[in-house]
Amino acid sequence: MSQQHLSPLRVPLVTEARTLGQLTEEICAPMERAPTWKWWAAFAIAVSILGTGAGIVAYQIGTGIGVWGLNKTVGWAFDITNFVFWVGIGHAGTLISAILFLFRQKWRTSINRAAEAMTLFAVMCAALFPVIHMGRPWLAFWVLPYPNSRGSLWVNFRSPLLWDVFAISTYFTISAVFWYVGLIPDLATVRDRAKAGLRKAIFRVLSLGWTGSHRTWSRYETVYMLLAGLAAPLVLSVHTIVSMDFATSVIPGWHTTIFPPYFVAGAVFSGFAMVLTLMIITRVVLGYEHLITIRHLENMTKVIIVTGGIVSLAYGTEVFIAWYSGNPYERFAFLNRAFGPYAWAYWTMVTCNVVSPHLFWFKKVRTSPAAIFVLSLVINVGMWFERFVIIVTSLHRDFLPSSWSMYTPTMVEVGTFIGTFGLFFTLFLLFVRVLPIISIGEVKSVLGFARPPGEAPAALPRRPEHPASESPAPEPLAVPGLALASRKDVPV
């Protein structure tokens, strides 16, 4: 929307003046040129890690879960830690795409597509862990409630682990649909730019015959809002249910009512850190500094300050309640976290999650991509350790001192975890190559935001191989049922 009355408080979202055509050109360019050597190098590394991870997973499925470092006391460790970590990473994408949409935050337009893609890939990585940890993943369908010949033995609907199955699968499905619906208009744009051939054929199928008709746009906006409205409570419910895997048990350190909001805040915290990590690389490599601006990064760091604050408060509350409850087991669990054999993990978590986000109070740090990048990695490490601390330190010394033990991950577990990073980055790199990573239609709609109408666009480096960069008069149509009678070009 172009603003007739420009408020000095409003800053343009796209920091360089661009025409609509130039925007299309810029966002479609990475898909239409051959990949650079940098992309190939990154892709080669990601695929090798993925391949190694796949080999390790094949080995542990062939051999059995005995290759993990679990024991009778610590029956859950790396698998669930990584599962919760990856699901958490995924939550920022839905928060950006759905919750910011409902709050009418226009700055989401440049980052929502990539963040949603990240959500899908992160949930795929997450879903691997529960499936692998079943030990017999080919029987994974047993978690579905279908009439069977085992006396019609149904699944246990009272189990949080089953709630997880429903939550994660619903979350993945709705995220995928939301992402695809958002993509349809852009797929049509790519289709119309493509020369005849395989690319055009593929995008013709994918874009479902989108013509840009406003009657369709109007319905599309409605559906998009409905999906956002559904995804917003969904994203909160998913991590709530993940936290209930722990909170509904009786283990000291797990048996807490604060878990659901605490986990959701932690998920958004780590998710935004991962979005920042990826966006900072992407904007530099693809030259999108004027689309994914410093202001976008700054806004995300502000979300990190808030969620980091909530997480810190939750840590404090847990410790306080452990003391205040007077429950000796609960007290011991928290003393053991802070001063026991895993104290190094606990203090790593506190340093990364409680201390480091406060650097974002300084505008210099908030507006420096290099500093944000480093801090986002620090926060990701911290959030991984948070899950590890919650899971392992609570389990390894529970009620009976006779069953206390220690847990150390084996190379297989570490390899599987690193392998999921390979999967995540492989998928992300492919996504950057084959789909528009910024929502073209949505950025176009905020192009005029806080800009005087008719501002002269900046010149773009012209790439003559792109026919769309010229501006021809409308061509004759080849629409079934439409035949061009005459055309009259009016001088512009």
Partner 1 sequence: MSAPVLVGYFDSEEKVLDATRAVREAGYTLDDVYTPYAVHGLDDAMGLKPSRLTWVCFGAGLLGCTLAMSLQLYTSVVSWPLNVGGKPFNSFPAFIPVTFELTVLFAGLFSVAAFLVRAKLFPGSRRRALPRVTDDRFAITVAPRDAGPELAAAEELLVRHGAVATSRMEVAS
Q: Map the footprint of partner 1 across residues 313-352, applying CB under 8 A.
A: none
Residue 410 CB, shortest distance to partner 1, in Å, is: 33
Number of chain positions touching partner 1 (CB under 8 A) = 87
Q: What is the longest distance spanned by two Cα atoms in the chain? A: 91
Q: Map the footprint of partner 1 across residues 132-171, applying CB under 8 A.
A: 145, 151-158, 160, 162-163, 166-167, 170
Q: Map the footprint of partner 1 across residues 257-316, applying CB under 8 A.
A: none
Q: Does residue number 458 form part of the binding site for partner 1 (CB under 8 A)?
A: no
Q: Which is nearer to partner 1, 204 or 290 (CB)?
A: 204
Look up residue 271 and give its amino acid: G
Q: Which is nearer to partner 1, 206 or 359 (CB)?
A: 206
- Chain-centre distance of CA 6, in angstroms? 34
Q: Map the footprint of partner 1 across residues 219-258, applying CB under 8 A.
A: 219-223, 226-227, 230-231, 233-234, 237, 241, 244
Q: Map the footprint of partner 1 across residues 391-450, applying CB under 8 A.
A: 440-442, 444-445, 448
Q: Which is nearer to partner 1, 182 or 382 (CB)?
A: 182
Q: Map the footprint of partner 1 across residues 462-491, applying CB under 8 A.
A: 468, 473-490
Q: Which residue has the tokens 């206390």?
A: 404
Q: Which is nearer to partner 1, 72 or 158 (CB)?
A: 158
Task: Answer left, alpha or beta for residue 397, where phi above 0 means left and psi between -120 and 50 means alpha.
Answer: beta
Q: Map the footprint of partner 1 across residues 15-54, applying CB under 8 A.
A: 19-21, 24
Residue 425 CB, shortest distance to partner 1, in Å, is: 28
Q: In angstroms, what CA-CA distances link 220 with 178, 191, 213, 216?
A: 11, 19, 10, 6
Residue 80 CB, shortest distance to partner 1, in Å, is: 18
**Residue environment code for 343-379, b if the CB has 16+ CB neighbours within 10 A, otherwise e:** eebbebbbebbbebbebbeeeebbeebebbbbbbebb
Residue 213 CB, shortest distance to partner 1, in Å, is: 5
H helices within 64-111, ranges in order?
Answer: 78-94, 100-102
Residue 416 CB, shortest distance to partner 1, in Å, is: 27
Q: How far apart are CA 191 and CA 167, in angstroms?
A: 35
Q: Which is nearer to partner 1, 203 or 346 (CB)?
A: 203
* Tally of CB atoms within 10 A around 316: 11
Binding mask 185-224 for partner 1 (x = CB under 8 A): x--xx-xxx-----------xx-xxxxxxxxxxxxxxxx-
Cβ(346)–Cβ(337) under 8 Å?
A: yes
Helix (H, G, I), strand (E, B) or coil at 320: helix
Residue 180 CB, shortest distance to partner 1, in Å, is: 8
Residue 231 CB, shortest distance to partner 1, in Å, is: 8
- The token duo for 114 is 């990539």
CA angle 435, 439, 443 (to 5 degrees): 150
Would you call 297 exposed, middle or buried from its count of C-beta atoms within 10 A (0-12, 13-18, 19+)?
A: buried
Q: How far apart are CA 413 and CA 443, in angstroms?
A: 42
Q: Which is nearer to partner 1, 181 or 343 (CB)?
A: 181
Q: Which is nearer to partner 1, 238 or 389 (CB)?
A: 238
Q: Which is nearer to partner 1, 174 or 378 (CB)?
A: 174
